[in-house]
Amino acid sequence: MPRKPKRPCSYPGCPKLVEGQYCEEHKRLTDKQYNQYGRDDFSKNFYKTPEWRAARKRQLDSQPFCEECLKAGKRTKATMVDHIKPIKQGGDKFAPSNLQSLCWSCHSRKSVEEGSRFSRK
Ligand SMILES: [Zn+2]
Ligand SMILES: [Zn+2]
**Cα 93 to ligand 2 centre (Å):** 21
- Domain boundaries in the chain? 43-120
Residue 38: pLDDT band (50, 70, 90) is: low
- pLDDT value at position 41? 66
Asked if 26 and 11 touch (Cβ cutoff 8 Å), the reply is: yes
- pLDDT value at position 120? 46
pLDDT tens, position by position, 48-85: 899 999 999 999 999 999 999 999 999 999 999 999 99
- pLDDT value at position 110? 83
- Ligand sitting nearest the alpha carbon of 20: 1
d(CA 103, CA 33): 35
Asked if 35 and 47 touch (Cβ cutoff 8 Å), the reply is: no
**Cα 7 to ligand 1 centre (Å):** 11
**Cα 68 to ligand 2 centre (Å):** 5
Average pLDDT over residues 39-56: 84
Q: Which residues pair with 80 in a beta bridge?
A: 102
d(CA 65, CA 81): 11
